[in-house]
């Protein structure tokens, strides 16, 4: 029966936790990248497409947790979408496996500009423990231009959230600059 749960839910506090605040240095660095690339502002809501470039599946477990009630990504205007064609952000996990390189490039080309590429996890950073393999090019930046790295093996959902919120923070800053006197 769903009724007792529904009634209990009326009186219970939400399970979602308060948001972590993004690191100032990260936001500044991203703002510089934005300026350098003369990127158009994306707005305050970002659509994220996940791409696994050959991870061990550890990062996916933590990325999946973001959509759950505890981290509740959607309350910040961040949401996962099913196609790179709908995305503002490519969230890439895993080392850059040679067998995935073409699929990664195609996903990148399908994603409309302006866009961010976020590399998630130690493997995406530089290949991690698989760095020296014949099957791995290295980090995701060997295949795609990376804007933000969220390291960790795997990064916790809180760290992922913090990184993604810095993307929103920099959009807001850029927005303030765009409209003088506002």
Partner 1 sequence: MSGPATRLILSGTARTPFRRELEPAAWAGLPGALRQQPDLELLALWAEIGAVHAAFRPSGGGSLLLASTAAEGNYPALSPARPAASWFERAIADLWGLRAEGGVDGRPWLDHGRWGFAAPLSARPLAQASEPPQPEFLPAEGEGVHQIPVGPIHAGIIEPGHFRLHVQGEAIVRLEARLGYAHKGTLGLMRGRSPRSAARLAARLSGDSTVAHAWAFAQAAEAALGVAVPPRAALLRGLMAELERIGNHLSDWGSLCNDAAFAWPHARCGALREGVLRASEAAFGHRLLMDRVVPGGVSIDIAPSGVAAIREALALVAAEMPALRRVTEDHASLQDRLAGTGVLRPDWAAAFAAGGFVGRASGRDFDARRDLPYAPYDALPFTVPVLQAGDVEARLSIRLEELAQSLALVAALLERLEPGDTLVSLPVRSGEGLGVVEGFRGEVLCWMALGEDGLIRSAFLRDPSWLQWPLLEVAVEGNIVADFPLCNKSFNCSYSGVDL
What does the binding site for partner 1 look like in residue numbers (CB under 8 A)?
1-2, 4-5, 15, 50-65, 67-70, 80, 82-84, 94-95, 97-103, 107, 128-130, 132-136, 153-154, 156-157
Task: Report, in Å, the least distance between residue 50 CB and partner 1.
Answer: 5
The smaller minimum CB distance to partner 1, of residues 95 and 163, is found at 95
Task: Report, in Å, the least distance between residue 150 CB and partner 1.
Answer: 15
Task: Say which residues have a Cβ less than 8 Å from residue 125's Cβ, sequence separation at least 6.
Answer: 119, 139, 140, 149, 151
Task: Report, in Å, the least distance between residue 163 CB and partner 1.
Answer: 16
In degrees, rounded to 5, the angle at the alpha carbon of residue 113 between the alpha carbons of residues 112 and 116 is: 100
The smaller minimum CB distance to partner 1, of residues 21 and 57, is found at 57
Find out whether 148 and 163 touch, Cβ atoms under 8 Å: yes
Task: Report, in Å, the least distance between residue 64 CB and partner 1.
Answer: 5
- Sheet strand arrangement including 116-120: 78-80, 46-52, 89-93, 116-120, 148-150
The smaller minimum CB distance to partner 1, of residues 38 and 109, is found at 109
Task: Report, in Å, the least distance between residue 47 CB and partner 1.
Answer: 13
Nearest partner of 102 among 58, 137, 63, 127, judged by Cα: 137
The smaller minimum CB distance to partner 1, of residues 14 and 40, is found at 14
Nearest partner of 96 among 63, 142, 147, judged by Cα: 142
Task: Say which residues have a Cβ less than 8 Å from residue 62's Cβ, sequence separation at least 6.
Answer: 154, 155, 156, 157, 160
Q: Which residue has the tokens 């994603």?
A: 111
The smaller minimum CB distance to partner 1, of residues 16 and 45, is found at 16
């Amino acid at each position: 029966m769903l009724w007792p749960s529904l009634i209990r839910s009326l009186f219970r506090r939400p399970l979602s936790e308060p948001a972590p605040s993004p690191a100032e240095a990260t936001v500044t660095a991203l703002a510089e990248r934005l300026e350098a690339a003369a990127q158009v502002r994306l707005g305050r809501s970002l659509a994220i497409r996940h791409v696994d470039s050959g991870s061990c599946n550890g990062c996916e477990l933590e990325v999946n947790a973001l959509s759950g009630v505890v981290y509740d990504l959607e309350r910040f205007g961040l949401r996962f979408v099913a196609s790179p064609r709908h995305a503002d952000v490519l969230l890439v996990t895993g080392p850059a496996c040679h067998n995935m390189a073409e699929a990664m490039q195609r996903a990148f080309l399908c994603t409309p500009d302006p866009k961010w590429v976020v590399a998630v996890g130690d493997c995406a950073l530089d290949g991690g423990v698989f760095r020296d393999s014949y099957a791995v090019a290295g980090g995701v930046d060997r295949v795609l231009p990376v804007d933000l790295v969220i390291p960790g093996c795997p990064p916790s959902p809180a760290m992922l959230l913090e990184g993604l919120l810095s993307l929103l923070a920099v959009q807001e800053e850029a927005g303030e600059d765009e409209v003088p006197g506002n």
